[in-house]
Amino acid sequence: MSKQTVMIIGLGLIGSSLAVCIKKEHPEVFIYGWDKSSETNQTAIENKVIDQYPKNFDKAAQSSDVIVLAVPVNTARSYLKKLATLSLNKETLITDTSSTKQEIVRIAHYYDLNFIGGHPMAGSHKSGILACDENLFENAYYIFTPTKTEEQNQIEYLKKLFVGTRAKYVLLNPKEHDEITGILSHLPHIIVSGLVNLADNFNQKHPRAEQLAAGGFRDITRIASSNPQMWTDILLSNRHILMHMLTQWQKKMSQLSFWLKNENTEQIYHFFEKAKDSRDQLPAGKKGTIPAFYDLFVDVPDRPGSIAEITSLLASVAISLTNIKILETREEIIGVLQLTFKSEKDLIAAKEHIESKTDYHCRLQ
């Protein structure tokens, strides 16, 4: 790739990780970085994530060949409006990383910008530039949402620019993208957050419930810990599709309520049987619309030094943990240690190393 200039707007987890992926494969590419946080900009320079933080936004944008909007959809709309007022080169290619596509593509076309919608389906337990990870996108789906056949050249250019992500590229039209992410990501976040809020109200009357929720309930609802502002923006930008999906969900729940009222054992059994069969057929070990949680469960004896032994083993082969939790420890029985890693590669390596060095049983989620 010849000498090019890329401007990345938004240097959080996604923007900074994209920057290091570009630089790794294309060291000749000059990268401007722009973030609303002066502290983030300074960190990006110090850690060589970007080449320069421009003093003048307009001039940097006008001199860039590619502009990446690595910001939430609501913020991306504002930047598109600003970019439309600048005298950009007609060949300047703009793309984004936001979670919904119809609205952002529509706005970009309204301003007659050279725009390709993008959505890297990757995430992490951590956020911000300090969580920057060149392996973040590996084997994740990176979706582009072209609307014209002649945009194929721009897509091929972006694929080459982002080759360092080692992502798997998928092309969808904007509406199809929003429908798929709506059912597989957005609606689950709504349902889980609603469940957590319902349980919180219940906990006011039954304080012991919160204590009992510390295990499985906490695990199955952990996506509710996502950024509230980000999810407000996502829901509003995909509101028409989500309103329809919520109606369909409410019908399903009303149907289940009817079966319960009438003690319809056959239908209730079929409800769970169908869900089990469908869930068991989902592909395992792959990144999808919701960031994967790479958890390893280790059965360890309840004796002094067990946890230290595990962490020392992992440290000896430079495998980093993002979280560690004791699920159960009772005297004279096996305890369960939940270890969370940032990637599938670390997860598998940890499992193999622990099992090769100890007699502890390890299992994946």
How confident is the model over 94-126, as pLDDT tens digits? Answer: 999 999 999 999 999 999 999 999 999 887 656
Q: For residues 5-29, give the mean pLDDT.
A: 96
Domain spans of the chain?
A: 5-172, 177-280, 294-364
One of 3.40.30.10, 1.20.1250.20, 3.30.70.260, 3.90.700.10 is the CATH number of 294-364, namely: 3.30.70.260
Q: For residues 137-142, give the mean pLDDT.
A: 90
More confident of the two residues 89 and 149: 89
Q: Where are the beta strands (DSSP E) in the chain?
A: 5-9, 30-34, 66-69, 93-96, 115-120, 141-145, 168-171, 294-301, 323-328, 334-341, 361-364
> Is residue 325 over pLDDT 90?
no
User: Would you state the CATH architecture of domain 177-280?
Assistant: Orthogonal Bundle (1.10)
Average confidence score pLDDT of the chain: 88
User: Would you state the CATH architecture of domain 5-172?
Assistant: 3-Layer(aba) Sandwich (3.40)
How would residue 285 be classed by pLDDT, with cut points 50, 70 and 90?
A: low
Residue-level pLDDT at 331 = 43
CB-CB contact of 34 with 54 (8 Å): yes
Full-model pTM: 0.78
Residues whose CB is less than 8 angstroms from the CB of residue 7 and which lie 6 or more positions away in sequence, other chains included: 31, 32, 33, 34, 54, 60, 61, 64, 66, 67, 68
> Is residue 43 over pLDDT 90?
yes
